[in-house]
């Protein structure tokens, strides 16, 4: 299950006490059903704003977002979201945290309990169903957050720097596991990151953004075969993509010599 996402001429300007804050300007983007697209850019360039706008949680100042052709005018239900902070409830165990999504949507808990257990096993959390979030490592907590985001089989998964708070080794493992998971799910994914390697290794296309107000600098299609494990990161194609993205950041003044 996957859906198409279209972003047309999107501007978002926040109002604040010190005046208007332009966060996004003239963003156009078409995402195909089942595509894995990363939004890559510096801190404060509007990446989270773009994701929230797609989710219907931030109202565009100008422009329009469509999911499967339907304009987004209210919070979208057919999505899963994963944030940098896992936002698990400490008083609920792992299984109940995953099933929270089901309860909030008024879906029958009994129908989803077996699939929640299967999903947790799939994510390497077998035997941890009755543990509480504070008993888990940071990586395990993010695995639970991902399980909770996909238990209802959403056609669109929005991930906002989901591995940003993890140590480098855990982050590497999470990336490898996410690619495998996505290759099974085949849902559409919008993945926000400021890590160039992570964006290249996960994505079908990398959307490169400029500094605030965020504009789309370029879109880089990544043609590396999947799964992108092993020595892909030292190969010439990977280095070619990395150089190309760095060049874009230099050209738009995000990086300078």
Residues near Mg ion (CB under 5 A): 48
Which CB sits closer to Mg ion, 23 or 120? Answer: 23
Is 21 a binding residue for ligand ADP by CB under 6 A? The answer is yes
CA angle 139, 149, 161 (to 5 degrees): 55
- CA distances to 3, 94, 135 from 70, rounded to whole Å, are 11, 35, 42
Selected range binding ligand ADP among 13-21, 30-38, 62-70, 88-96, rule: CB under 6 A = 13-21
Task: Indicate the SS3 state at residue 152.
Answer: coil
Distance from the first to the final alpha carbon of the chain: 45
Enter the DSSP assignment of 163.
Answer: T
Given strand 188-193, what is the order of strands in its sheet?
Answer: 79-82, 156-160, 188-193, 36-40, 205-209, 216-221
Shortest CB 25 distance to ligand ADP, Å: 11
Is 154 a binding residue for ligand ADP by CB under 6 A? The answer is no
Binding ligand ADP (rule: CB under 6 A), the pick from 26, 33, 34, 44 is: 44
Selected range binding ligand ADP among 44-52, 75-83, 131-139, 149-157, rule: CB under 6 A = 44-52
Binding ligand ADP (rule: CB under 6 A), the pick from 38, 49, 142, 193 is: 49
- CA distances to 13, 107, 190 from 187, rounded to whole Å, are 30, 20, 10
* Residue numbers 166-225 binding ligand ADP by CB under 6 A: 212
The partner in contact with residue 43, picked from Mg ion, ligand ADP, none with C-beta cut-offs of 5 to 8 angstroms by kind, is ligand ADP
Binding ligand ADP (rule: CB under 6 A), the pick from 7, 38, 48, 147 is: 48
Which CB sits closer to ligand ADP, 45 or 72? Answer: 45
What's the distance, CA 100 to chain centroid? 20
The answer to whether the Cα torsion of 15, 17, 19, 21 is positive or negative is negative
Selected range binding ligand ADP among 47-55, 86-94, 122-130, 176-184, rule: CB under 6 A = 47-55
Query: What are the residues binding ligand ADP (CB under 6 A)?
Result: 14, 16, 21, 23, 41, 43-49, 212
């Amino acid at each position: 299950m996957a859906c198409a996402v279209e972003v047309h001429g999107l501007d978002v300007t926040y109002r604040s006490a010190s005046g208007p804050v332009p966060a996004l300007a003239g963003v156009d983007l078409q995402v195909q059903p089942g595509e894995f697209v990363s939004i890559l850019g510096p801190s404060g360039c509007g990446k989270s704003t773009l994701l929230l706008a797609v989710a219907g949680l931030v109202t565009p100042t100008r422009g329009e977002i469509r999911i499967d052709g339907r304009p987004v005018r209210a919070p979208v239900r057919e999505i899963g979201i994963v944030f940098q902070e896992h936002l698990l409830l400490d008083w609920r165990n792992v299984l109940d945290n995953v099933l929270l999504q089901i309860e909030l949507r008024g879906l029958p808990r009994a129908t989803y309990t077996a699939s929640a257990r299967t999903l947790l096993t799939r994510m390497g959390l077998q035997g941890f169903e009755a543990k509480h979030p504070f008993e888990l490592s940071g990586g395990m907590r993010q695995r639970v957050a991902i399980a909770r985001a996909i238990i209802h089989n959403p056609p669109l998964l929005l991930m906002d720097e989901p591995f940003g708070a993890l140590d480098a080794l855990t982050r590497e493992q999470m990336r490898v596991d996410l690619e495998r998971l996505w290759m099974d799910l085949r849902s559409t994914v919008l993945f926000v990151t400021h890590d160039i390697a992570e964006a290249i290794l996960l994505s079908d296309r990398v959307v490169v953004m400029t500094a605030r107000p965020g504009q789309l600098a370029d879109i880089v299609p990544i043609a590396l075969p999947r799964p992108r494990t092993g020595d892909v990161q030292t190969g010439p194609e990977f280095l070619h993509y990395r150089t190309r993205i760095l060049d874009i950041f230099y050209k738009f003044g995000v990086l300078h010599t």
